[in-house]
Amino acid sequence: MTFKTLLTTTAFAALMSSPVLAQQISIKAGVLNDRSGLYADLSGEGSVIAAKMAVEDFKAAEKGIKVEIVSADHQNKPDVGSTIARTWYDQDGVDLILDVPTSSVALAVSQITKDKNKVHINSGAAASDLTGKACTPNTIHWTYDTYALAQGTGGAMVKAGGDSWYFLTADYAFGHALERDASAVVVKNGGKVLGAVRTPFPGTDFSSFLLQAQASKAKVIGLANAGGDTINSIKQAGEFGIVAGGQKLAGLLVFITDVHALGLQTAQGLVLTESFYWDSNDGTRAFSERFAKANGGKKPSMVQAGVYSGMLHYLKAVEAAKSKDSATVVAKMKELPTDDPLFGKGTVRADGRKMHDVYLFEVKKPSESKAPWDYYKQIAVLPAEQAFRPLSESECPLVKK
């Protein structure tokens, strides 16, 4: 039909060889993300590759599960995203939607998924509302959220001595939320916030704001922004000698693809939080090598890793439930522990939050980097319980207190 269809499994051949199963389950998964815009590098086609790898690794065909994967570009626009989600669910028989970066689109897709009673496993979006007040029984939020980012970057920086902060906040809801969450963490850990400046969004020139941040004499400049804004502010901070002057930059939402775009020369010394890094252990390295081969040499971002992990767990739940009924599968996903080489062992909580450890990284100096994509050194590990919002503080109606 409308969207490029990617047949991933040669289910028929596999069926011939495998023992006849009582029931063949066929699943259609839609990878909905940014394929052309700002987040195309961190999600995009890479997420489709990751989903396909999950299907391969699960050996779905041998287990009597036929999986077809479709993909589309939501262009980071909630209206485009919700139109596609509606069409997929209503017309194309899609059972679950994966990825969906950009919080605004994710919230829209989550709502539609609930209305149509399907499944949404989100990997790309940051909004902690997805498992907070906007939580639904049909949505699982996999990789990270703003709460975890603030806990990681904010908390760990204060513990490492960066106890006075100044925020550069992109002047829109997402920037405000990041600033609010991070400020709370900074204060809670005994640091203080000296001030914040609201930068027009989207912006290109941050020099004026950086100068204000510099004048504040704060030890840490927190970048409560995303995408192009983050890249430009880091770039210009380097130019104005801010890091050289002894102040630290803390990116509240920075992906490895951003670091790649900046280059180590500019990004060195930046502190950031991610829940996955390709070079963490043998499991992640093996996966990333296979992934890179399929993705033009680019290593996976945590979002793409999350798509793999989420798809894998969904398939496990389908196998265990012997059904693709949304309520049954989600219940199974929350019941079964998660385990994969990328995120290790974990669980899916009642509110739909996937629990795993989160890491604080510092970007290496160019001299420390030995190979392409050798970008991070690990500073701290945050156990899942500390990284994600505890259920006791949850605003999610699904959580029984």
Partner 1 sequence: MANVASTDAPAAGLAVIEIDHGTARLHRMIFIGIAIALAVAPFIAYPVFVMKVLCFALFALAFNLLLGYGGLLSFGHAAYFGMASYVSAYTAKNWGLTPELAILLGTCVAALLGALFGALAIRRQGIYFAMITLALAQMVFFFSLQTPRFTGGEDGIQAVPRGKLFGLINLADDRTLYWVVAIIFMAGLLAIYRIIHSPFGQVCKAIRDNEPRAISLGYRANQYKLTVFVLSATLAGLAGATKAIVFQLASLTDVYWSMSGEVVLMTLVGGLGTVFGPIVGALVIVSMQNYLASLGAWVTVVQGVIFVICVLLFREGIVGVIAKWIKKPL
Partner 2 sequence: MFELLGIPPQALFGQVLLGLINGSFYAILSLGLAVIFGLLNIINFAHGAQYMMGAFVAWMCLNYFGINYWAALLLAPLIVGVFGVIIERVLIARLANLDHLYGLLLTFGLALIIQGLFRNQYGSSGLPYQIPPQLTGGQNLGFMFLPNYRAWVIAASLVVCLATWFLIEKTRLGAYLRAATENPTLTQAFGINVPLLVTLTYGFGVALAAFAGVLAAPIYSVNPNMGADLIIVVFAVVVIGGMGSILGAIITGFGLGLIEGLTKVFYPEAAATVIFIIMVLVLLVKPAGLFGRTT
Q: Which residues bind partner 2 (CB under 8 A)?
A: 36-38, 40-42, 171, 197-205, 207-209, 211-212, 214-215, 227-228, 231-232, 235-236, 239-241, 245, 257-258, 260-263, 265-266
Binds 322: which of partner 1, partner 2, none (CB < 5-8 Å by kind): none
Binding of partner 1 at residue 174 (CB under 8 A)? Answer: yes
Residues 211-250 that bind partner 1 (CB under 8 A): none
Q: Whose Cβ is closer to partner 2: residue 46's or residue 137's? A: 46
Residue 266 CB, nearest distance to partner 2 (Å)?
6
Interface residue with partner 1 among 15, 38, 80, 398 (CB under 8 A) is 80
Residue 236 CB, nearest distance to partner 2 (Å)?
6
Q: Whose Cβ is closer to partner 2: residue 54's or residue 264's? A: 264
Q: Whose Cβ is closer to partner 2: residue 206's or residue 287's? A: 206
Alpha carbon distance 252, 32 (integer Å): 24
Binding of partner 1 at residue 362 (CB under 8 A)? Answer: no
Q: Whose Cβ is closer to partner 1: residue 48's or residue 242's? A: 48
Alpha carbon distance 105, 20 (integer Å): 41
The tokens of 189 are what?
């850990």
Binds 261: which of partner 2, partner 1, none (CB < 5-8 Å by kind): partner 2
Binds 77: which of partner 2, partner 1, none (CB < 5-8 Å by kind): partner 1
Spatial strand order of the sheet with 358-363 comes to 192-199, 164-170, 220-224, 248-251, 271-274, 358-363, 376-382
Binds 4: which of partner 2, partner 1, none (CB < 5-8 Å by kind): partner 1
Residues 92-121 that bind partner 1 (CB under 8 A): 103-104, 107-108, 111
Interface residue with partner 1 among 72, 119, 196, 321 (CB under 8 A) is 72
> By the 8 A CB rule, do 307 and 99 touch?
yes
Alpha carbon distance 387, 356 (integer Å): 8
Binding of partner 1 at residue 313 (CB under 8 A)? Answer: no
Binds 84: which of partner 2, partner 1, none (CB < 5-8 Å by kind): partner 1
- # chain residues binding partner 1, by CB under 8 A: 33
Q: Whose Cβ is closer to partner 2: residue 25's or residue 234's? A: 234
Binding of partner 1 at residue 208 (CB under 8 A)? Answer: no
Interface residue with partner 1 among 172, 187, 269, 334 (CB under 8 A) is 172
Q: Whose Cβ is closer to partner 2: residue 294's or residue 380's? A: 294
Interface residue with partner 1 among 87, 164, 323, 386 (CB under 8 A) is 87
Q: Whose Cβ is closer to partner 1: residue 56's or residue 171's? A: 171
Q: Which residues form the interface with partner 1 (CB under 8 A)?
A: 2-4, 35-36, 40, 71-73, 75, 77-80, 82-84, 86-87, 90-91, 103-104, 107-108, 111, 171-174, 176, 200-201
